[in-house]
Amino acid sequence: MRNTGGDQVQEAVASCVALLRTATDRDWEGVKAGRMSWSCRGTAFHVAEDLIAYAGQLAGRARDRWVPFEIVPEEGIDNDGVLEVIETSGALFAATLRSTPREVRAFHPYPFRSANREGFAAMGIAEVLLHTHDIAEGLGLSYEAPAELCESVLTTLFPDVRPGPAPWPTLLWATGRGDLPGRAPVTQWRWHNNLALPTDRLTLEGVTPATAADLHAGGDGGFEWVDGEPFEGTRVASGMLVKAYEEGLLRPEFGVFVLVRREDGRAVGAMGFHAAPDDEGMVEIGYDLVEGGRGHGYATEALRALSAWALARDDVRRIIAKVDQGNLPSQGVVTRAGFEKVGEDEELFVYELRG
């Protein structure tokens, strides 16, 4: 899988600097950046602030707040100097991303109070691309961000946004900066970093549309799997997630979670919901483990955690699981997790857990 990381951050920064360097002789302080209240100069320096702040969060492994520091421009700095700060901040952030282990998460408020390195990378890329657009609009310049970078941002941070005709206008629309035919204007928006649920031995890592597409296509999703690759059920579930995303129906917290061992960062299986809760508050859950992850109680541990998380919500009242009648190990999993058998057909037993 091609991870969103340091190379992509530096590509975004290069795109920004290449455009703005053509206008360093202009007045950036006296001109507002597009629809923003900030000046073009203030917005440009804000890009550098974001990049260095994200680097600080990851490098410092921030747990519950923003690391309390800021950067301040040198007195008398000109527009070329501002671009130099953006380039340097981008390089520091890229280096941090390259040296940060995949499983590390650090504080970010939206929406689950943490983000992984791909999430931080995507946020940094978005800040660069979108604010370059704002500055360009203020200065009367033409700018179109690289489509592949925009797609990475959308499939990482906007899982509930149905893809549009092209990534760049879709990203502008999703952040209240443009219009898309047939869609209402966006007036409020937030990043949507993936959910991660810790257990004693595992982390259940929410799968983004970007990761799901790679898994469905036969990739590893950016994970190191105990058996070298995921079980087939994980690929099928990932395909269902991609389909929901493409149709604009995805609620990512009710998607797929990869089960990652905390002791070594290796993936042992996946678990997730077939869809969001229905009108009666019912969701169906499913799971699979690679062969090397079986027999250790991982599925039971994960099922207890994910079920507890779901039933703590106001929109979930009961969870069902359907298990093949011949699958005794899986029947043991749901039973140990507190599910009760409530029905059956010729092939399946139906189990239920209520809040």
Q: Would 26 be classed as within a structural domain?
A: yes
Max CA separation in the chain (angstroms): 78
Q: What is the pLDDT of residue 240?
A: 96
For the chain, state the CA radius of gyration: 22
Q: Would 322 be classed as within a structural domain?
A: yes
Residues 255 and 159 in one domain: no
Look up the CATH number of the domain holding residue 113.
Answer: 1.20.120.450
Residues 200 and 168 in one domain: no
Q: Would 185 be classed as within a structural domain?
A: no
Terminal Cα distance for the chain, rounded: 38
- Cα–Cα distance measured from residue 306 to residue 157, given in angstroms and rounded to the nearest whole number: 22
Give SS3 for 76. coil
Tell me which DSSP letter residue 183 carries. S
Total domain count, the chain: 2
Q: Is 232 exposed, middle or buried (0-12, 13-18, 19+ CB in 10 A)?
A: exposed
Q: What is the pLDDT of residues 226-261, one digit of tens each?
A: 999 999 999 999 999 999 999 999 999 999 999 999
Look up the CATH number of the domain holding residue 322.
Answer: 3.40.630.30
Neighbouring CB atoms inside 10 A of 351's CB total: 24
Residues 166 and 300 in one domain: no
Residues 15 and 72 in one domain: yes
Q: Would 188 be classed as within a structural domain?
A: no
Q: Would 186 be classed as within a structural domain?
A: no
Residues 316 and 201 in one domain: yes
Is-contact 274 303, C-beta < 8 A? no
Q: What is the pTM of this model?
A: 0.96
- Cα–Cα distance measured from residue 185 to residue 92, given in angstroms and rounded to the nearest whole number: 36
- Cα–Cα distance measured from residue 269 to residue 247, given in angstroms and rounded to the nearest whole number: 26
Is-contact 275 254, C-beta < 8 A? yes
Buried b (16+ CB within 10 A) or exposed e, 96-121: bbeebeebebbbbeeebebbbbbbbb
Q: Do you find a cis peptide bond into 111, omega within 30 degrees of 0?
A: yes
Q: Across-strand partners of 196?
A: 205
Residues 144 and 219 in one domain: no
Q: Across-strand partners of 166?
A: none
Q: Which domain holds residue 349?
A: 196-354
Angle (deg, nearest 10), helices 147-157 and 6-20: 130
Give SS3 for 63. coil
Is-contact 246 163, C-beta < 8 A? yes
Q: Would 184 be classed as within a structural domain?
A: no
Neighbouring CB atoms inside 10 A of 191's CB total: 18
Specify whether the backbone of 260 is left (phi greater than 0), alpha (psi in -120 to 50) or beta. Answer: beta
Q: Would 183 be classed as within a structural domain?
A: no
Tell me which DSSP letter residue 186 carries. P
- Cα–Cα distance measured from residue 93 to residue 189, given in angstroms and rounded to the nearest whole number: 24
Residues 146 and 256 in one domain: no
Kindly list the distances between the CA atom of residue 153 and the CA atoms of 35, 123, 163, 261, in Å, as whole numbers in the listed order.
21, 7, 12, 27
Q: What is the pLDDT of residue 2?
A: 61
Token pair in block for residue 142: 């033409």
Consecutive 10-residue runs of the chain (355 residues): their mean pLDDT? Answer: 85 98 98 96 98 98 96 95 98 98 95 97 98 98 98 97 97 97 96 97 98 97 96 96 97 97 97 96 97 97 98 98 96 98 95 96
Of 120, 142, 174, which residue sits at a domain end? 174
Of 143, 174, 205, which residue sits at a domain end? 174
Kindly list the distances between the CA atom of residue 234 and the CA atoms of 220, 223, 316, 329, in Å, as whole numbers in the listed order.
11, 13, 23, 18
Q: What is the pLDDT of residue 4?
A: 83
Q: Would 123 be classed as within a structural domain?
A: yes
Pick the closest to residue 73 from 57, 86, 91, 58 (CA basis): 86
Residues 24 and 160 in one domain: yes
